[in-house]
Structure 1
Amino acid sequence: MRTRWFAGKSRPFRVTRVQALADVPGGERGPDVTVFLVTVEYGDQEAGTEQYQVPLARYDDFEERIGHAFIGSVEADGRVHHLFDAVHDRDAMSLWLDGFIGAEQVGVHEVGGLRFRRVAGGDPLDAALRGSPISGEQSNSSVRFDDTAIMKLFRKVSPGVNPDIEIHQELTRGHSEHIAALYGWIETEVDGEVLQLAMLQEFLRTAADGFELATGSVRTLLADPAQSIEESGGDFAGEAARLGAAIAEVHAMLRERFPAERRGAEATAELARALAERLDRALLAVPELEPHAERLRAAFGAVAYLGGLDVQRVHGDLHLGQTLRTSHGWRIVDFEGEPGRPFGERALPDSPWRDVAGMLRSFDYAPGVVEMSQGGTAPEQDEEKELRAARAREWSHRARESFLSAYTAALAEAEQPGDEASDADAARSAADRRVLLDAYVLDKAVYEAVYEKRNRPGWIGIPLAAFEEFEQTRPDIG
């Protein structure tokens, strides 16, 4: 499998089952489409299986316009059928649009084994909308319907409720200003269990990727490092503050609309053990972590002495790449949670400070990525190199400081007086918050070190620098 969305390209695997989930008739709007569920079994030490959704459009004649999406040909009923990835076929995707339109009045519309569901109160869709695939994605496939809606088709699927759909549904019902509204989703049943296949959302016309904005800001700053960060036009502190406030409001709504609780000392002790165990596993894969292991164990061990832990539904995989900046402010996307974990685990309540830590690490990654991408430029004098490095650290520190200050201020404002979790949080000392956030930030950096070692070993210096500079550059928590 050569597709970008297949996660096992570098692992030994075999296809053990191909199952037809649904047959959607084309009629006058498009070709016949069959949605297949492909089961892949891995043969390495991690073993295990994964399931992938593959919708194929079927034509009697070869379609040159979508030749790039050609999968192969099969013979059936005495005829040769040419198969194409349906995501790349606007005529096939018009059938998916028809399914959502059919669900507008009744809430659910069944077609060929697929159930199209619409969120109550959504605007009607125009059947004339044209679908076009979004390029450059990794784990899923998305189709844009002009400037009205965007459909994310989940490639790797699992039985149960997808957190991305579940959370977006509640935030849409709560009229959150910091997400793209959910319009509906597609599901089917396999062996008596629900399998959710895609979701349809509001298309954000003016959206720009948060990580790309951040790295662009860094490049602007480093183009003339002799200038102050304010003079350069490359200061990201204001945007970071606005993003911090937006995430705080999302966390507050998640706490209102999903179960949340204050757990006792046993929860912090268990968290400390889990952090230490992850470090032990990481040390086997990344020996470069060894010089920092003692300090990391001390930071993780300190969590065990905290009196308790507030938990709720969270994003679960938050970083700048999961944000969009629009003309109306920041939007948070992709609430699927940490890839690779079962849906049941992703839906478990967790500390919102884990999300905060992910974003703080992302503000460190932006200048690191810029530095790596400019590795081929002309040699610099030592003085200029040191100045660029100092400016990059200043960019990161200002962004993290502004983000965290705005997050804590907005979170306090959003909490309702008398709310049990709110009162407990207010009573907890800044020192306790510091311990918890430090542990989550360092744990995230350990995760990054393992990822880079396995996938981009030349970039491992980015997370390793976090351990060396942590004490000097961590923002105040207030």
Structure 2
Amino acid sequence: MSEAVTHSATTSPALLASLDPLLRDWLPRQRWFAGKGRQVTGLSLVSATELLPSGGQLGLYHLLVRVHQPPAPDQSGPARAGDCYQLLIGSREALPPRLAPALIGHVSEGPLANQTVYDALYDTRPAEVLLEAVRSRARIGALRFDRDPRQEIRPHLVPRLVTTEQSNSSVIYGDTFILKLLRRVVPGVNPDLELPLALAREGCPRVPPPTGWMLAELSGQTSVLGVLQPFVQGAADGWELALRELAKGESFDEEARALGRATAEVHLALAAGLPTVTLGHAQLRALADGMTERLEAAARVVPALRPHLPGLRATFAKLAERATQDRPLTAQRVHGDLHLGQCLRSADGQWSLIDFEGEPAKPLAERRLPQPPVRDVAGMLRSFDYAAHSASVPDPDWATACRAAYCAGYAEVTGLDPRADPVLLRAYETDKAVYEVVYEARHRPDWLPVPMAAVQRLAAAAQAEAEAETDAAAGAGTTGRAG
């Protein structure tokens, strides 16, 4: 197998031309395709590398393909180049029945004429090729495979594709490793590799340390293609675990408290291993302005937000007011997209955090910016709310208890309770809920009531607080004039 991955050649652009009509139909149907609802107007080849020799019973090609589409309706600013996607394309004369779900189509012309092409991650041999390439630290065309030499990778581990992925794809090898392949590829330092490496250097046990990685080096720029990490055997997904406890009517408080402690440990390790910054008046003001701008843009897309605008604006106005006070705020690297589905509880009850990519829709540079740690906290609080509303009988009190337990667990480790800065926490919760409203309106309309309920609650609380302050100020003014 190692010979197959070390004597590979870059393929001709004619390969993409022959695949073009098939990919235009297949790509928009994939869960990880970000441009749903917009026509694919063109494909261009970024890189194509042959991983298994052509002419055999099985061919394997690694493609980086740029997909051109009209801009999204709410996209502002200068037009950007199309998204670049990582594809592993297998070719056979005919597919066995077990690979039917992987079918892309039948090629009529070009280098793969009369071949059937498919998503090769469903197939055992191509998946083995990737692991062997990492194990042997292979160099194949523009592709670079590397690993931590201190961790052993045994050969011949049986692979299987994880079929429940969303924005990426993962392959598990013998319940020993899991390889996450990033489907949407951007050049630069990807936090999905950068942050776990930093946490490993700090000895943080809450994140599986990277075992190996895949890179592409093109035009002087490096892009992360995939990360191999130890597989947490017998682990329960935090989202599924929470829903199971909800269905049984059981408390999740202890788990939420332990998850708060795990989050805090990760934050402390990130602050120790990577630079932190202090946000002064100007930065805090810009933070509040950014939240307000996102709110106004969201209200243009989702009219249901408009009745709640006064209260939501008041929340961000309070954050802007905080910027005038002499209370600097520390920012650091954070997870960036933390929720129950990004957490695993092992068989011994320990929590791990995974998937440090951040929100894939945001530019890489933005995902790597230092943020107040409360951003992650707010994401998890919103996740408890989602879980509570996903039960057959929604249970808001369950979410309230989880939120309190999570914050208490976080405070046990850091000494700082996120609820001690209610203005900041509410602003981040509100910003996240507004983001969720837009996402659900666009992708899952049936879920829209969940973030809308949060928006209504947060807006009403902010509005009532603002009115109480106004009344108090008016009362104080009247008392002063009477005196």
Question: TM > 0.5 between the two?
Answer: yes
Aligned counterpart, 1:367: 388
| Shift in Å, 1:77 | 6.8
Deviations 1:260-280 (A, max 9, x none): 022211111111111111111
Q: What is the aligned counterpart of 1:456 among 444, 447, 452?
A: 444
Answer yes or no: is the 8 Å Cα contact 2:215–2:223 preserved in 1: yes
Question: What TM-score comes out, normalization by structure 2 length?
Answer: 0.82
CA distance in 1, matches of 2:239, 2:112: 52
Aligned length: 423
| Shift in Å, 1:471 | 8.9
Answer yes or no: is the 8 Å Cα contact 1:265–1:309 preserved in 2: no
Does residue 444 of the first structure (1) align with residue 464 of the second (2)?
A: no
Does residue 286 of the first structure (1) align with residue 289 of the second (2)?
A: no
Answer yes or no: is the 8 Å Cα contact 1:210–1:320 preserved in 2: yes
Question: What TM-score comes out, normalization by structure 1 length?
Answer: 0.83
The code of the aligned residue for 1:404 comes to: C
CA distance in 2, matches of 1:241, 1:430: 14
Structure 2 counterparts to residues 59-458 of structure 1, below 5 A: 59-60=92-93, 62-71=95-104, 72-73=106-107, 75=109, 80-103=114-137, 109-122=138-151, 124-221=152-249, 234-306=250-322, 307-328=327-348, 329-370=350-391, 374=392, 392-412=395-415, 433-458=421-446
SS in 2 for 1:305: helix
Flag the 1:320–1:473 CA change in 2: closer, same or farther, 3 A: farther
The code of the aligned residue for 1:347 comes to: R
Deviations 1:374-398 (A, max 9, x none): 4xxxxxxxxxxxxx66xx1221111
Deviations 1:270-301 (A, max 9, x none): 11111111111111122222332222212111
The code of the aligned residue for 2:135 comes to: I
CA distance in 1, matches of 2:459, 2:83: 41
The code of the aligned residue for 2:257 comes to: A
Q: CA RMSD in A?
A: 2.6
Answer yes or no: is the 8 Å Cα contact 1:248–1:411 preserved in 2: yes
| Shift in Å, 1:184 | 0.9
Flag the 1:30–1:174 CA change in 2: closer, same or farther, 3 A: farther
The code of the aligned residue for 2:412 comes to: A
Deviations 1:226-274 (A, max 9, x none): xxxxxxxx10000000000000000000011111022211111111111
Q: Unaligned regions of 5+ residues in structure 1, if any?
A: 104-108, 222-233, 375-387, 413-424
The code of the aligned residue for 1:34 comes to: Y
The code of the aligned residue for 2:335 comes to: H
Does residue 53 of the first structure (1) align with residue 53 of the second (2)?
A: no
User: Which deviates more from structure 2 when the two are superposed, residues 42-51 or residues 139-148?
Assistant: 42-51
Answer yes or no: is the 8 Å Cα contact 1:75–1:81 preserved in 2: no
Aligned counterpart, 1:420: none
Aligned counterpart, 1:41: 68
Flag the 1:74–1:188 CA change in 2: closer, same or farther, 3 A: farther
CA distance in 2, matches of 1:173, 1:38: 34
Flag the 1:40–1:279 CA change in 2: closer, same or farther, 3 A: same
CA distance in 1, matches of 2:458, 2:291: 18
**Identity over the aligned pairs, expressed in percent?**
38
Answer yes or no: is the 8 Å Cα contact 1:74–1:82 preserved in 2: no
CA distance in 1, matches of 2:201, 2:164: 30
SS in 1 for 2:388: helix
| Shift in Å, 1:203 | 0.6
CA distance in 1, matches of 2:36, 2:49: 26
Does residue 21 of the first structure (1) align with residue 48 of the second (2)?
A: yes
Answer yes or no: is the 8 Å Cα contact 2:142–2:218 preserved in 1: no
Answer yes or no: is the 8 Å Cα contact 1:99–1:116 preserved in 2: yes
User: Which deviates more from structure 2 when the two are superposed, residues 45-54 or residues 310-319?
Assistant: 45-54
Does residue 4 of the first structure (1) align with residue 31 of the second (2)?
A: yes
SS in 2 for 1:348: coil
Q: Unaligned regions of 5+ residues in structure 2, if any?
A: 1-26, 463-483
CA distance in 1, matches of 2:419, 2:444: 36
